[in-house]
Amino acid sequence: MAGPQVLLVAGTHGNEVNGPWLIEQWSKTPNLINNYGVRFASTIGNPLAFEAGVRYLDRDLNRSFRAEFLRSTDSSDRELMRARKLLDLYGPLGRNACKIAIDIHSTTASMGSCLVIYGRRSSDLALAALVQKLIGLPVYLHEEDEAQKGFLVESWPCGLVIEVGPVAQSVLQFEIVEKTRLALEACFECIASISEGSTIYPRGLIIHRHIASFDFPRDLRGNIVGLIHPLIEGKDWQPIKAGVPLFVGADGDGICVEHDECLIPVFINEAAYAEKNIAMSLTKREFWPFDVSWKNSLEGLFT
Amino acid sequence: MAGPQVLLVAGTHGNEVNGPWLIEQWSKTPNLINNYGVRFASTIGNPLAFEAGVRYLDRDLNRSFRAEFLRSTDSSDRELMRARKLLDLYGPLGRNACKIAIDIHSTTASMGSCLVIYGRRSSDLALAALVQKLIGLPVYLHEEDEAQKGFLVESWPCGLVIEVGPVAQSVLQFEIVEKTRLALEACFECIASISEGSTIYPRGLIIHRHIASFDFPRDLRGNIVGLIHPLIEGKDWQPIKAGVPLFVGADGDGICVEHDECLIPVFINEAAYAEKNIAMSLTKREFWPFDVSWKNSLEGLFT
Question: Is A52's Cβ below 8 Å from some Cβ in B?
Answer: no
Query: What is the maximum alpha-carbon separation in chain A?
Result: 62
Backbone φ, ψ for residue A248 (5° rounding): -145, 140
Q: Residue type at A230?
A: P
Question: Is B255's Cβ below 8 Å from some Cβ in A?
Answer: no
Contact A233 B175 (CB under 8 A): yes
pLDDT digits (tens, 9 = 90+) for A102-149: 999 999 999 999 999 999 999 999 999 999 999 999 999 999 888 889
pLDDT digits (tens, 9 = 90+) for A268-289: 999 999 999 999 999 999 999 9
Comparing CA positions, the residue from A51, A12, A22, A53 lying closest to residue A169 is A53
DSSP class of A237: T
pLDDT digits (tens, 9 = 90+) for B84-107: 999 999 999 999 999 999 999 999
Task: With cut-offs at 50, 70 and 90, classify the pLDDT of residue A159.
Answer: very high
DSSP class of A81: H
Backbone φ, ψ for residue A219 (5° rounding): -85, -175
Q: Print burial letters for B262-274: b (CB count within 10 Å at least 16), e (below 16).
A: ebbbbbbbbbbbb
ipTM: 0.93
Comparing CA positions, the residue from A14, A13, A21 lying closest to residue A174 is A21
Cα torsion angle, A91, A92, A98, A102, sign: positive
**Coil vs helix vs strand at A171:** coil
d(CA B15, CA A133): 40
All structural domains of chain B, each given as residue ranges with its CATH number in brackets, are 6-207+288-302 (3.40.630.10), 211-284 (2.20.25.160)
Give the mutation candidate from B28, B57, B174 for the A interface (greatest A CB count, under 10 A).
Answer: B174
Contact B227 A274 (CB under 8 A): no
d(CA B201, CA B191): 12
Is the model more confident about B34 or about A1? B34
Contact B172 A229 (CB under 8 A): no
Average pLDDT of the segment spanning A166-181: 98
d(CA A219, CA B302): 40
pLDDT digits (tens, 9 = 90+) for B144-175: 888 889 999 999 999 999 999 999 999 999 99
A196 Cβ neighbours under 8 A, 6+ residues apart = none
> Which chain A residues are Cβ-neighbours of B173 within 8 angstroms?
227-228, 233, 269
pLDDT digits (tens, 9 = 90+) for B237-285: 999 988 899 999 999 999 998 888 889 999 999 999 999 999 999 999 9
d(CA B205, CA B223): 40
Give me the percent of chain B exceeding a pLDDT of 70: 100
Is the model more confident about A214 or about B76? A214
Model confidence, pTM: 0.95
> Which chain B residues are Cβ-neighbours of A274 within 8 angstroms?
170, 172
Of B32, B54, B251, the CB nearest to A250: B32
- Interface contacts (A, B; CB < 8 Å): 99
pLDDT digits (tens, 9 = 90+) for B221-230: 999 999 999 9
The Cα of B173 is separated from the nearest Cα of chain A by a number of Å equal to 6
Task: With cut-offs at 50, 70 and 90, classify the pLDDT of residue A78.
Answer: very high
pLDDT for B72 equals 86
Q: Is the pLDDT of residue A186 over 80?
A: yes
The helix (H) or strand (E) run that includes residue A163 is: strand A158-165
Question: Is B131:B189 a contact under the CB 8 Å cutoff?
Answer: no
Residue B119, CA atoms < 13 Å, CB-side half-sphere: 16
Question: Is A169:A15 a contact under the CB 8 Å cutoff?
Answer: yes
d(CA A146, CA B25): 32
Backbone φ, ψ for residue A49 (5° rounding): -70, -35
Q: Is the pLDDT of residue B220 over 90?
A: yes
Question: Is B277:B215 a contact under the CB 8 Å cutoff?
Answer: yes
Question: Is A136:A189 a contact under the CB 8 Å cutoff?
Answer: no
Contact B177 A250 (CB under 8 A): yes
A98 Cβ neighbours under 8 A, 6+ residues apart = A4, A5, A6, A7, A40, A41, A90, A91, A92, A156
Question: Is A223's Cβ below 8 Å from some Cβ in B?
Answer: yes
Task: With cut-offs at 50, 70 and 90, classify the pLDDT of residue A166.
Answer: very high
Comparing CA positions, the residue from A204, A225, A214, A218 lying closest to residue A266 is A214
Backbone φ, ψ for residue B277 (5° rounding): 60, 40
d(CA A82, CA A87): 9
pLDDT for A147 equals 87
Radius of gyration of chain A (CA): 19
Of B108, B223, B228, the CB nearest to A168: B108
Other CB atoms closer than 10 Å to residue B110's CB: what's the count?
Answer: 18
d(CA A73, CA B99): 58
> Which chain B residues are Cβ-neighbours of A21 within 8 angstroms?
224, 227, 250
Question: Is B29's Cβ below 8 Å from some Cβ in A?
Answer: yes
Backbone φ, ψ for residue B225 (5° rounding): -120, 0
